[in-house]
């Protein structure tokens, strides 16, 4: 753990200090849990009132932050500054330098770069290529002909099927599967016949994949996860789909096959996207959305079926009024009947109701 | 397998017998499949009429159960009585006493208690502590500094990342992952920068976790699964969320980060809960719900967006009437126009319709 | 890779050629990506206009296909023909003939058939039976008493709990779990007591299961996946449910316990089906549906809650009009009030609005 002054941290992130720059910072903590020596951050307004009660020694804030009785580190992009300070103070997960275990099973035809750490019970099949600085944790399986770029990390029990191409600085979390056969069957006379899946998976540079994900290999074209995109846990991507660069797919998202997603899209948790459609660039899809049509660039959508977000927020929140609305329609019909046919008895109107809306 | 009389079973569970207490019971079965020597149970009214046709030798029922031509074991809480009889007659899953396999890779600095069974191809990293009576199945990975309480069971290929704390009598089913990095990135100029996740996961006593679950480690605070809570398969819990004691999370539930859930909550399958909210105690959330706001104690909610259950059941079931309702509104508008402006021709009203609601 | 003439391919699939039958076909590709020597196919109308621009040497089409300037292979069931040609030209995934690894842990009491290939770090427990021609990939766990039929493939890190029965020609993809304890607890005085799960899982012939799936063992009755059914990635099936033959369950489907599904059902991605219900034969359930009631044969349903598809498509797509509809109802009420009570001031009507529907 590094120890720094607040002034040093401000200089590191290009921010400036409001208050004492000599205060000592040892680690980071949330506003609520921070104590002396901690730096905290405020980027979500929900927690703004904790600014007054926090015991942090300093807080990273944006330019519009309220004054507070404690030292502040004011940054253009406070969450980014927080990230950089976290890296400085705590660093990323460390990997033990194990070298190549004698208990791993590594094919003679595998080409392994320098400074790679391959743990016990890993299997590396024929004709694979793993570049410099990779860490392959116990129980991972690297199928035939797989290529992994430099400085990538494959966590325990990850399975990479034959032929997949993994980029540089990729992180694949435990128990995920890359390149299994796509869900492709030709149904003929009631029997589902498996279609050979000749495509593979390409995971570009700087991608992170959560745990328990499944990225299918393509039927004919490769499935692609674009550089810098990040997938949460239990995400599934169907065969031949292409996800552009710098997307975020939150946990439990499901994308069917042959769909194309542009760059910088954010796809909320548990959303589903059907196959064979195109999602543009900079599209934001809310959690649990169901996307069944093409989406143009820059749209924000929500709901199932997914619609434009402002309209959608109002519309979906009105489902709760359906019983009242239906009742109102009945009453209006009754009242209108009184106006147009005032002589008819009420009972008849009531008797008709069961077939009404 | 144990063989008992119905009277013995009734005594065991504190119930009483209606009919012959000397009937011999060897095992348990459903009403439909039971045959002589089986005891069955009736706790779901759906199956009540099977009481007449069952071939069970006896049936466990509650106090309000109808009379039937077969011996009954009447219990205050018949499902609990059924559980206790299942444990008596069949017992829980047995674990072979393998001791510590020479094919496991166990760090010299790991402290392993007595009567632990660590199978082939398990990896136990440095500075771990596994207390007495634990079973660690093949291919499991126990990361650096992990602590596991006594009598816990870790099924095959489970991965526990460095630093997690697992309580006593915890069961983690196969292929689940505990403590992977939280889905935390600071997006700056279109690039997602990984934030070090310094928190860990705490799984308290008597928790059971299904297969293919992912429980993220926290960014700053630990992610916590409270004692006695049970998670189904493919559940994901985001970084820094805290689930209270005695909750049930059914399969495929997804909980985002920094959310707090009270005690004794029941969360139905495929439900999603957004981040940074508070769910009270004794809250019941129906399957597939989408919870986006705080929920007070004792609420029952359903739907996406989730609303109070009685209102929600009526409201969501009325979506099917939307086409009729919209048509009714059009008709009412037309009829009202006839009343207020009887001279205008009908055709004009029709022509306007496309832009109407 | 095989090389064939278009005429040979047509003969192989019982279709006929429109154009030059002597054109040489080496491989298959999509319309957009095909080049000389490739055969492509057109079965989704969405891609029909690509027929004019494709560089494929031939295209497989159905009988209603438009004329095109390139050789066509006209087939009764073009997707089925495509599958058969894919198998002919590319074949299914090949498995290296490793024999039985000395690095696998295989019980002396396991019975292994001929031509089985059991990879490194596999564990095969006591009293198992694996028939001829099976491939068990690295890190898989075959629990006590498990039976696997002939020619089945178990991919890396799959876990099969004790007692499960797997049929012939079954494929289980990586990191899936079969036979974990069902999610069954008796809640008594606020504590969830685990119920022994004495049922197992039966997977019949020709089933394929995706990655990261969880198929629970039954409480009393076995969980069954019927022959020829195919499950996508991250599908969960609850204890004691029975899925009939020839069903398709797309990725992330969740089925609760004790539910019965007929034959030839198609269940779209992310759909959820509650426990203790019956789904008939030939039922189609759209993606993200929530099924809470029995469904008769041959129904097509969608939505959550799920309703008949034609009605459902109209109804769910009208949620977006709810704000307009609610506004229309208010306006109608106001106008009607003017008709019935023309003397009352408008302001009063407005004042009432907040409590209106």
- Chain B environment of A246 (Cβ under 8 Å): 190-192
Looking at the domain assignment, is residue C97 inside a domain?
no
The reply to whether A121 and A199 lie within a common domain is yes
**Model ipTM value:** 0.94
- Distance to chain B for C297, nearest Cα, Å: 21
Cα A73 from Cα C134, distance rounded (Å)? 62
Q: Which residue of B has its CA nearest to A78?
A: B186
CATH classification of the domain holding C280: 2.160.10.10
Phi, psi values for residue C24, rounded to 5°? -90, 130
pLDDT above 50 (res B270)? yes
Whether the CB of A218 is below 8 Å from some CB of chain C: the reply is no
Task: Let me know if residue C96 belongs to a domain.
Answer: no
Output the domain CATH number for residue A26: 3.40.1390.10
Q: In the predicted model, what is the mean pLDDT of residues A268-277?
A: 98
pLDDT at B1: 58
Residues A116 and A145 placed together within one structural domain of the fold? yes
Check whether residue A154 and residue A226 sit in a common domain.
yes
* CA–CA gap between residue A170 and residue A156 (Å, rounded): 14
Each residue of C166-178: pLDDT tens digit? 999 999 999 999 9
Asked if residue B211 has pLDDT above 90, the reply is yes
**Of B155, B210, B228, Cβ closest to residue C191:** B228
Q: What is the C-alpha separation between A163 and A167, in angstroms, rounded? A: 13
More confident site: B194 or A347: B194
Cβ(B306)–Cβ(B283) below 8 Å = no
Number of residues that this document lists for chain C: 357
Cα A340 to its chain centre, rounded Å, is: 58
- Does residue C188 share a domain with residue C112? yes
The Cα B86–Cα C342 span in angstroms is 73
Q: Is residue A188 among the annotated active site residues? A: no
Give the Cα separation of A146 and A160 in Å (integer). 8
CA distance A33 to A302: 34
Closest by CA to B263, choosing from B223, B216, B215, B227, is B227
- Looking at every residue in chain A, the average pLDDT score rounds to 94
Write the DSSP assignment of A234-258 as a string of letters. T-EE-TT-EE-TT-EE-TT-EE-TT
Mean pLDDT split into 10-residue runs, chain C, 357 residues: 90 96 96 95 89 94 84 96 96 96 98 98 98 98 98 98 98 98 97 97 98 97 98 98 98 98 98 98 98 98 96 95 95 88 55 38
Percent of all residues in chain A with a pLDDT value above 90, rounded to a whole number: 89
Q: Are residues A20 and A135 in the same domain?
A: no
In this prediction, residues B12-20 reach a mean pLDDT of: 96
Cβ contacts (< 8 Å) between B144 and chain A: which residues? 96
Which residue's entry shows tokens 């500054």?
Answer: A81
How far apart, in whole angstroms, are the C-alpha atoms of residue A228 and residue A226? Answer: 6
Instruction: Write out the DSSP string of A68-99.
Output: -SS-EEE-SSHHHHHHHHHHHHT-SPP-----
Residue B341, pLDDT above cutoff 90: no
Q: A 295-334 residues with CB below 8 A of C?
A: 303-305, 307, 311-312, 314-316, 318-319, 321-322, 324-325, 327-329, 332
The edge-to-edge listing of strands for the beta sheet with C135-136 is: C117-118, C135-136, C153-154, C171-172, C208-209, C230-231, C248-249, C266-267, C284-285, C300-302, C307-308
Look up residue B118 and give its two tokens.
């660590």
pTM to 2 decimals? 0.95
Q: Judging by DSSP bridges, how do beta strands C58-61 and C111-112 pair with one another?
A: unpaired
A117, A227, A239, A246: which is the annotated catalytic residue?
A239
Q: Judge: B254–A264 Cβ closer than 8 Å, yes or no.
A: no
A-chain CB neighbours of B304 within 8 Å are 288, 304, 316
Query: Does residue A117 sit in the same domain as residue A65?
Result: no
Interface contact flag, B314 A323, Cβ < 8 Å: yes
Residues A19 and A80 in one domain: yes
Residue C264 covered by a domain: yes
The region of weakest confidence among A32-36, A42-46, A94-98, A316-320 is A42-46
> Whole-angstrom Cα distance, residue B337 to residue B329?
12
Q: What's the Cα-to-Cα distance from B5 to each of A222, B9, B19, B85, rounded to whole Å?
A: 63, 6, 12, 12
Q: Please identify among residues 85-104 of chain B the ones whose CB lies closer than 8 Å to any CB of chain C.
A: 86-87, 90-93, 96, 103
A287 touches chain B (CB under 8 A): yes
How far apart CA B255 and CA C213 sit, in angstroms, is 19
Task: Name the strands in the sheet holding A159-160, side by side, starting at the edge strand that comes first in the sequence.
Answer: A105-106, A123-124, A141-142, A159-160, A177-180, A214-216, A236-237, A254-255, A272-273, A290-291
A284 bridge partner residues: A266, A300
Residue C212 at interface with chain A, using a CB cutoff of 8 Å: yes
Number of neighbouring beta carbons within 10 Å of residue A1: 8
How far apart, in whole angstroms, are the C-alpha atoms of residue A21 and residue B72?
Answer: 78
Of B157, B193, B238, the CB nearest to A80: B193
Q: B354 at the A interface (CB within 8 A)?
A: no
Please enumerate in sequence order all residues whose Cβ is within 8 A of that of B315, keeping only pairs 6 or more positions apart, or say none: A319, A320, A321, A322, A323, B303, B307
Is B171 in the same domain as B50?
no
Element (H, E) at B13: helix B6-13
Q: Which of the listed residues C29, C63, C89 is the one where a domain comes to its end?
A: C89
Q: What is the pLDDT of residues A318-351, one digit of tens each?
A: 999 999 999 999 999 999 888 887 765 554 444 3
The answer to whether the CB atoms of C318 and B322 lie below 8 A apart is yes
Identify the active-site residue in C117, C119, C227, C239. C239
Residue A229, min C-alpha distance to chain B (Å): 8
SS3 B336: helix
How deeply is A324 buried, as exposed, middle or buried, from its count of CB atoms within 10 A (0-12, 13-18, 19+)? middle
Of B64, B89, B114, which residue constitutes the final position of a domain? B89
Question: Domain check: are B111 and B236 in the same one?
Answer: yes
Higher per-residue confidence, C69 vs B38 = B38
pLDDT of residue C344: 59
> Are A303 and A324 contained in the same domain?
no
Domain span including residue B39: 4-89
Q: Which residues from A are below 8 Å from B216, CB to CB?
A: 233
CB distance A201 to C233 below 8 Å: no
Q: Is residue C181 in a domain?
A: yes
> Is the residue at A100 inside a domain?
no
Is residue A94 situated within a structural domain?
no
Inter-chain CB proximity A139 and C121 less than 8 Å? yes
Q: Nearest-CA distance from C189 to chain A in Å?
A: 33
Closest residue, chain C, to B45 (C-alpha): C276
Which tops the pLDDT comparison, C12 or B46?
C12
CB–CB contact C121 B119 (8 Å): no
Strand-strand pairing, C105-106 and C72-74: unpaired
For B212-235, b/e burial (b = at least 16 CB within 10 A) is bbbbbbbbbbbbbbbbbbbbbbbb
User: What's the pLDDT score for residue C28?
Assistant: 95
Contact B322 C315 (CB under 8 A): yes
Tokens of C351: 């004042």
Q: How far is B220 from chain A (nearest CA, A)?
A: 6
Q: What is the pLDDT of residue A345?
A: 56
- Residue B251 forms contact with C (CB below 8 Å): yes
Q: Mean pLDDT score of chain B, rounded to an integer?
A: 94
> How many separate domains does chain B show?
3
Residues 6 or more apart in contact with residue B79 via CB below 8 angstroms:
B41, B43, C186
Q: Using a CB–CB cutoff of 8 Å, tell me whether A192 touches chain C.
A: yes
Write out pLDDT tens, residues A205-238. 999 999 999 999 999 999 999 999 999 999 999 9
Among candidates A33, A247, A118, which has minimal Cα distance to B198?
A33
Secondary structure letter of residue B242 according to DSSP: E
Q: Which of A260, A268, A263 is nearest to A229 (CA)?
A: A263
Residue A172: its H or E element:
strand A171-172
- Please measure the distance between the N-terminal and C-terminal CA atoms of chain A and give it in whole angstroms: 67
Helices marked H in B73-217 — which ranges? Answer: 78-89
> Are C119 and C67 contained in the same domain?
no
- C349's tokens: 């009507």
Q: Which tens digits make up the pLDDT trace of B66-88? A: 777 899 999 999 999 999 999 99
**What percentage of chain B's residues is helix, strand, coil (to nearest 5)?**
20, 25, 55
Residue A256 lies in a domain: yes
- Answer with the residue of higher pLDDT: C349 or B265: B265
Q: Which of A20-24, A213-217, A300-304, B338-342 has the lowest mean pLDDT?
A: B338-342
Residue for token pair 């009203």: B349
Partner-chain contact B157 C180, CB within 8 Å = no
- Same-domain pairing of C299 and C159: yes
> Is A251 inside any structural domain?
yes
pLDDT of residue A37: 96
Predicted confidence (pLDDT) per residue in A124-151, tens digit:
999 999 999 999 999 999 999 999 999 9
For chain B, the chains sharing at least 3 beta-carbon pairs closer than 8 angstroms are: A, C
| Beta strands in A121-163, from DSSP E residues, in sequence order | 123-124, 129-130, 135-136, 141-142, 147-148, 153-154, 159-160
């Amino acid at each position: 753990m590094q120890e720094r002054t607040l002034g040093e941290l401000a200089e590191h992130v290009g921010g400036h200090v409001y208050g004492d720059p000599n205060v000592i910072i040892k680690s980071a903590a949330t506003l609520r849990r921070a104590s002396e020596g901690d730096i905290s951050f405020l980027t979500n307004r929900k927690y703004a009132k904790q600014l007054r009660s926090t015991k942090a020694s300093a807080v990273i804030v944006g330019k519009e932050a309220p004054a507070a009785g404690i030292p502040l580190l004011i940054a253009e992009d406070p969450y980014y500054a927080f990230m950089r300070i976290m890296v400085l103070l705590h660093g990323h997960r460390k990997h033990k330098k194990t070298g190549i275990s004698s208990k791993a099973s590594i094919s003679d035809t595998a080409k392994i770069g320098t400074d790679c750490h391959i743990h016990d019970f890993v299997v590396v099949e024929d004709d694979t290529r793993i570049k410099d600085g990779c860490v392959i944790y116990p129980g991972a399986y690297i199928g035939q002909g797989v290529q992994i770029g430099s400085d990538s990390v494959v966590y325990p029990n990850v399975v990479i099927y034959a032929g997949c191409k993994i980029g540089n600085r990729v992180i694949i979390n435990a128990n995920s599967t890359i390149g299994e056969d796509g869900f492709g069957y030709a149904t003929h006379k009631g029997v589902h016949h498996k279609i050979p899946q000749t495509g593979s998976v390409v995971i570009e540079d700087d991608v992170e994949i959560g745990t328990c994900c499944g990225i299918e290999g393509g039927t004919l074209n490769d499935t692609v996860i674009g550089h810098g995109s990040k997938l949460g846990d239990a995400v599934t991507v169907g065969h031949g789909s292409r996800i552009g660069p710098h997307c975020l797919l939150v946990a439990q998202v499901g994308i069917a096959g042959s769909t194309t997603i542009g760059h910088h899209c954010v796809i909320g948790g548990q959303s589903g996207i059907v196959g064979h459609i195109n999602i543009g660039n900079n599209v934001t899809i809310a959690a649990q959305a169901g996307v069944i049509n093409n989406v143009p660039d820059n749209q924000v959508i929500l709901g199932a079926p997914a619609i434009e977000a402002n309209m959608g927020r109002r519309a979906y929140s009105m489902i709760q009024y359906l019983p009242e609305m239906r009742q109102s329609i009945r009453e209006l019909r009754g009242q209108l009947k009184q106006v147009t046919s005032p002589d008819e008895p009420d009972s008849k109107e009531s008797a008709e109701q069961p077939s009404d809306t």
